Each structure stands twice: as structure tokens, then as C-alpha cells.
Amino acid sequence: MEFRHLGRSGLMISEIAYGNWITHGSQVEAETAHACVRAALDAGITTFDTADVYAGTKAESVLGDALKGERRAGLEIFTKVYWPTGPGRNDRGLSRKHILESIDGSLRRLRTDYVDLYQAHRYDHSTPLEETMLAFADVVRQGKALYIGVSEWRAEEIRAAAGLAKELHVPLISSQPQYNLLWRVIEAEVVPTCEELGLSQIVWSPIAQGVLTGKYKPGRPAPAGSRATDENGGAFIKRMLTDEVLTRVERLVPLAEESGLTLAQLAVAWTLQNRNVAAAIIGASRPEQVAENVKAVGVKLDAGLLKRIDEILDPVVERDPAKTVSPAARP
């Protein structure tokens, strides 16, 4: 495993982070989830990402149980707040009330006294940003989080938050967007803004929910048991399951083989070529998937290969920065 600084902070995280959106508490049983976490630890992964809303708060509990007994100082545990976690009007958003109540729930479920990174899971247009940032600052000063970050925020929103964070003397160090070979909407505005302000990207969906593994074939139904057939994950990846996209993805297979990589490894390695990316988050429903994906660590893709990839995919790549938070995006 290799490690990178997160933003301009002194915090170092593993290039591959393990995330449990969709899987833990829903798609896979606790025993399998624990085996996947063990595989991640065995592979040298020290960074674990979750959120209070995943599987209706169950994912945090599963992760907390799976990490029980590990040396806390040797781990970086991230979670998020924003989406509804209860039926009440204040069980959602980025109000002071919800943030301060949610961090306590997350810590209880994760079996820890603090998280290394506490992230705003989306921008809250119904709450003053000043209220949100002051609440995050208080969470940090209470020792319940060491750093703060955002997820799927636009460049102008990140800039405004960074200004307040500076005034409040709290470390805003990261952005967690969707980013992969097919979805590059952060490149035009979010990445340059974050580079200027000292934030790094922790990217999710580096293999496009499985589309960049090559298992989905043009003109053929999705394989039984795949994410595309799951009621939770299926709707999310539908926009990518067109014959045009899948045909072009198939054309990447020879390029991956030339590099001694699987298509999934090539996809993960590609995200890590971006100097503003600190880590790529991988998920898994089987331990062997973790072992495969970590082989992308330390891989350097030359300029010629990157150009050939772009030539193949360019017609189907989404680059519009206005889609930073897309209608298809889910927590």
C-alpha cells in the first residue's frame, strides 16, 4: 500500500480506501462484510469510509463491529452527515441540531470516540452555510472529529466553505465526488478550486459501479446477481448501461492487458493519476474483490496510454461541471 497526504494537512491516508455504501447492512451479510474488511486490512488499507445514511445507519454499525479490536491510531475512519436518518423534520440536512446529534450517533455505531474526517454529504440549501460551518467547528473542538470535508459540492460552494473554515480555524481538507473514466465533471472547476484551496479528492465509484470491470456486455442482459439487477444499485448505473458506452468500455480491455492489469485495476489506477486525488474508494461484496483492486496501487500509466484511453472513451465521457451533483447521484 502507498499513502498520500489529504489536502495540505498532515493526515496521510491509504491510496485505496474501503467504502461500504450499498454493501454492508444491505447487500451482504455481516460475516461477509467482516471478511471484506479483514481483506482490506490485510492488503494494507487503513482508510475506511462510510455514512450515517448507508443501509439506514446499519453500515456504520457493521463497520464498527468489523474494526473492533484494531489499533484505533492506525486507522482513518470517515463518515458523513446530511441525508435523513429518521422520520423527524430535523433528522436531515446540515442544521446545527442535526450535525451535533448525528455525530454522536455515528460515534456510537462506529464504536469510536472520534472520526478522522467528518463530511457534509451534500450541500444544504435550506440552512445558512455559516450555521453549518460553526457546527462542524464545534464538532472538531469537542474532539469528535479531527478534520472536516464535503461530498458532491460545487466549486463555488467549496470556496465559500473554505473561507468560513479559515475564519473559524478548522481544517477543511477534502472533497468526496464521483470520479471515474466515464464521469469527469470535477475536472473543469472542482479540482482546480481544491488545488488552490488545499483540498484533496477522495473519489467514489472509480469503477463506475462495476461498469468498468467489463462484466456488462453490449446487447446482453446484466449478469444475474450483479449490481445492475439490484434494486438499490440498479437505478444508479442504468444511464451507463447503453450499448455505446459498453462497446467502448470493451475496447479498453486490450489496453489493460498490455499493462498487465484487469480492466477494473486500470480504472482505479487511472483515477490515482490525478495529482489532486488522495484516494480512490473501493467497495466489495467478496474479499477477493478487495485483493484485486488494491493491485492498482503504485501503477503509473504513461501519457501514450492515457491518450489512447481518451480517444476511445471521449464520445461517452460526461464532463459538464453543472452535473457535479447529478439527478442520478445517491448518498
Q: Phi and psi for 273 in degrees, rounded to 5? A: -75, -20
Q: Which amino acid belongs to residue 132? A: T
If you write DSSP's letter for every residue of 74-107 in order, what string do you get?
A: G-EEEEEE-S--SSSTTSSSS-HHHHHHHHHHHH
Q: Are 294 and 43 in contact (CB under 8 A)?
A: yes
How many CB atoms are closer than 10 A to CB 327? 6
CB 329 within 8 A of CB 209: no
Spell 226-247 as b/e; 16+ CB within 10 A means b: bbbebeebeebbeebbeeebbe
Query: Out of 54, 123, 179, 216, which one is annotated catalytic?
Result: 54
Helices first, then strands: H and E counts in the chain: 12, 10
Q: Is 118 a catalytic residue?
A: no
Neighbouring residues of 173: CB distance < 8 A, sequence distance ≥ 6: 6, 7, 8, 9, 11, 117, 147, 148, 149, 198, 199, 200
Burial of 259 (0-12, 13-18, 19+ CB in 10 A): middle
Nearest to 3 by CA among 281, 278, 293: 278
Which stretch of DSSP H or E encloses residue 146? strand 145-150
- 52 neighbors 79 (Cβ within 8 angstroms): yes
List the catalytic residues.
54
